[in-house]
Amino acid sequence: MIDINLIREEPERVKENLRKKFQDAKIPLVDEVIQLDKDLRAVKTEGDNLRALRNSASKLIGGLIGQGKKEEAEAEKKKVQDIGDQLIHLGEKEAELEEKVQKIMYVIPNLIDDSVPIGHDDTENVEVEKYGEIIKKDFEIPYHIDIMEAVNGVDLDSARETSGNGFYYLSGEIARLYSAIFSYARDFMISKGFTYFVPPFMIHSAVVNGVMSFAEMENMMYKIEGEDLFLIGTSEHSMIGKFINKIVDEKELPITLTSYSPCFRKEVGAHGIEERGVYRVHQFEKQEMIVVCKPEDSMKWFDIMYKLTVEFFLSLDIPCRALECCSGDLADLKVKSIDVEAWSPRQEKYFEVGSCSNLGDAQARRLKIRVNGEKGKYFAHTLNNTVVAAPRALIAFVENNVQKDGSILIPKALQPYLGGQTIIKK
């Protein structure tokens, strides 16, 4: 959510931002919310004036009674009662206008950074840089499920019976490898100065509305029937929600956190759920990084954060690249976003394994996360980034480390978490 003052003072800038995001249908909303805002302020002013009149009349009543002027006192009492009735009506009107203003403000997207490339969708995203050496295998790389099945590491058929498509059983050395990746991710982020958290896996609707757009929520979140609770789609949601309605001392910034959680997603959309594979699933686990900082520091942290993910994947012998999201591919709350993509030797192309996002003060405005600074209070900037999300990272890992005989090499970084094991044998 952007600042209403920006819409009041620079409406054309807000409209141009909508054009850059190819959301021209929302342009009329700018003028609509400006008028609603004017009406709201007029109602508030009228209410303030009436309250002042009521206070004056109330004070006058006591004096009139003391002077024995009963009729005049009764007239003033009637005036106070009439003003009270008017204030009730104005209060209802004010609440109605506030709801309309907020509803529109929630769908007007954040201003994108000037550095964001302009494009319609993810086909126009721009490569930033490639990292790591791509080693050409002298054999055909099997499908990731075939690699894991060859070491008795995955069972999709049983999961389909118990839960449906989009679920899986991991077992044996693959399940152990899966856990090792997250243990390593935890220690990797702690070594970078981030504080480790395991957050709540369910959150209230107020937090959901604070961290994401309604369209994202509809396509992602599972609602707990009969309760004001949603299963999280990423731990960023509950970690940012941790600061709801809080005032943070500026001296505490930046706040750097890393969190582990299971994640649950509907995955509604054209892409659908794979029949045989674990790239897009309903349930997975993820290690996230979150930063709360001063506005002037958020771009610096954005650069630091996505490069930490790159460093993590390179330490697992997985080549990767950074791909900047174009304007049309940015979610409404985002100022700037970069996807980290891992190399798939089987497909001979990169695929997304994580995303780093700078949300400016959009989440902070929605959740009322403020900073108490030397020059007064202001809204914090929030950022989030994927350290590692499995099973996507598992796909990249097995494809890049599988050998001709079907065995899977374990890189040095993970060996301590697997009892010194160097290979998973077929």
**Domain layout of the chain by residue ranges:** 4-105, 122-424
Structure tokens at 343: 């190399």
pLDDT of residue 270: 46
Handedness of CA 149, 151, 152, 154 (dihedral sign): negative
Q: How far apart are CA 109 and CA 102, in angstroms?
A: 13
User: Domain 4-105: which topology?
Assistant: Helix Hairpins (1.10.287)
Beta strand pairing call for 255-264 and 336-344: unpaired
* Residuewise pLDDT in 10s, the chain (426 residues): 899 999 999 999 999 999 999 999 999 999 999 999 999 999 999 999 988 888 887 778 777 777 777 777 778 788 888 888 899 999 999 999 999 999 999 999 999 999 999 999 999 999 999 999 998 888 999 999 999 999 999 999 999 999 998 899 999 999 999 999 999 999 999 999 999 999 999 999 999 989 987 667 777 889 999 999 999 999 999 999 999 999 999 999 999 999 999 999 987 554 555 667 888 899 999 999 999 999 999 999 999 999 999 999 999 999 999 999 999 999 999 999 999 999 999 999 999 999 999 999 999 999 999 999 998 999 999 999 999 998 899 999 999 999 999 999 999 999 999 999 999 998
CB 168 within 8 A of CB 159: yes
Contacts of 218 by beta carbon, 8 Å cutoff, 6+ apart:
268
Count of beta carbons in the 10 Å neighbourhood of residue 175: 14
Q: How far is CA 414 from CA 46, 114, 117, 394, in A?
A: 67, 40, 37, 13
Q: What is the pTM assigned to this prediction?
A: 0.89
CATH number for the segment(s) 122-424: 3.30.930.10
pLDDT of residue 12: 97
